[in-house]
Amino acid sequence: MKPLRALGAFVLLVAFATPAHAYFEETVVGARGLALGNSSIALVSDVTAYYWNPAALGSMRGAEASADFAKPYGLANVNGSAIAVAAKRLGIGWGLAWHHLGLQGAYSEDQFTLAAGRHLFDVRGAGSVAGGIAVRSDRIAFESFQDPIGGGTVDYGSQSKPSLDVGLRWQSPWSIDVAYVGRDLLNPHFEFIAGSGGQTIAARQSLAAAFHWNRESTVSVGWSQIDDSHSEASAGLEILFYDVFAIRSGFSNLSRVYQSLGDPNQLEFTGGFGVQHKGYFVDAAATTNHDLGASYHVTLRVPFGAGERH
């Protein structure tokens, strides 16, 4: 009975937090990008770019591995983790990753990703354009449980579906980068109870720009589609101190605030910091939700092999 109650609570929490769809809502990788919000698709060019914008993998100069740990909404039995590696070979940045979200004894989501990004072409006098693609296998699994009413064992089993993200990134000579990402373009559909209609993960789009105010400061703005009738705007700020310490902050749901005449309860705040030394990075981030509370995320990035670190 406990796993069933826990599963119901978790699904209700996630669905309430984000009305678009419940599956894979908490699949977020990289504390730096999370701290800056969705506008970070124009910024992140490290190993976690496989998630934020695969086009940016083409900008990697060295090989990196990363490990993530997340605690969504401080829920005791819910944990998220991810491992990823990325390197540049044959002029293409490659990324391979596994992400896991689990509710102990009840439910799990696993996402396996192979991503690639590379330089596409130069625009005369206006910078360069890179493109990328991320091919995924999304797996959802339920633990069996005892039916509290009719007795017997209930087992919904597991399902795996393919999905696809694509990304573009334009790096201009004017200290401005612009990025586009299309997510879940294959519309993966999960149906665990026959005849229920199941749930389709809708394709979504994001557009963002990053302005490098100076070498130490970057401001980003973005727009993201949530579903056919909802979208959100976001903004982020990153300040780097002496190439060692960074502070970051972001806001999302700005479009909803505007539409509701500025209700501050609709804002979602993100923030975090990063420390780096000789190519090693530790990043931490926290996000807030007015109804559900705070989530926490920590990422470790480690260089390996030869190549310039950035």
309 domain-assigned:
no
Tell me the DSSP string of the chain.
-HHHHHHHHHHHHHHHH-SS-STTTT----HHHHHH-GGGGGT--STTHHHH-GGGGGG--SEEEEEEEEEGGG-TTEEEEEEEEEEEETTEEEEEEEEEEEETTTEEEEEEEEEEEEEEEEPTTS-EEEEEEEEEEEEEEE--EE-TTT-SEE---EEEEEEEEEEEEEE-TTSEEEEEEEE-TT--EE-SSTTS--EE---EEEEEEEEEEETTEEEEEEEEE-SSS-EEEEEEEEEEETTTEEEEEEEE-HHHHHHTTS-GGG-EEEEEEEEEETTEEEEEEEEEETTTEEEEEEEEEEEESSS---
User: What CATH number corresponds to the domain at position 188?
Assistant: 2.40.160.60
- pLDDT for 265: 52
- pLDDT for 256: 44
- pLDDT for 145: 75
Most confident of 161-170, 232-241, 299-308: 161-170
18 domain-assigned:
yes
305 CB burial (10 A radius; 0-12, 13-18, 19+): exposed
117 domain-assigned:
yes
The residue segments making up the domain with residue 115 are 2-304
Give, in order, the Cα–Cα distances in Å from 250 to each of 38, 152, 209, 260, 305.
Answer: 9, 48, 14, 20, 33
Q: Which carries the bigger pLDDT value, residue 1 or residue 104? A: 104
Q: State the pTM of this model.
A: 0.86
- pLDDT for 28: 86
User: Is the pLDDT reported for residue 245 higher than 50?
Assistant: yes
pLDDT in tens, 163-217: 999 999 999 999 999 999 999 999 999 998 888 888 899 899 999 999 998 889 9
Q: Which carries the bigger pLDDT value, residue 270 or residue 282? A: 282
221 domain-assigned:
yes
pLDDT in tens, 45-54: 999 999 999 9
Poorest-pLDDT segment among 60-69, 198-207, 232-241, 286-295: 286-295
310 domain-assigned:
no
278 domain-assigned:
yes
Q: Which residues partner with 200 through β-bridges?
A: 189
173 domain-assigned:
yes
C-alpha closest to that of 2 among 72, 107, 100, 92: 107
pLDDT in tens, 112-170: 999 999 999 999 999 999 999 999 999 999 888 777 777 778 788 899 999 999 999 99
Total domains in the chain come to: 1
- pLDDT for 19: 38
Tell me the DSSP string of 118-162.
EEEEEPTTS-EEEEEEEEEEEEEEE--EE-TTT-SEE---EEEEE
- pLDDT for 310: 43
- pLDDT for 77: 83
Mean pLDDT over all residues of the chain? 85
Measured at the alpha carbon of residue 238, what is the angle toward residues 60 and 176, in degrees to the nearest 5?
60
- The answer to whether the CB of 65 falls within 8 A of the CB of 301 is yes
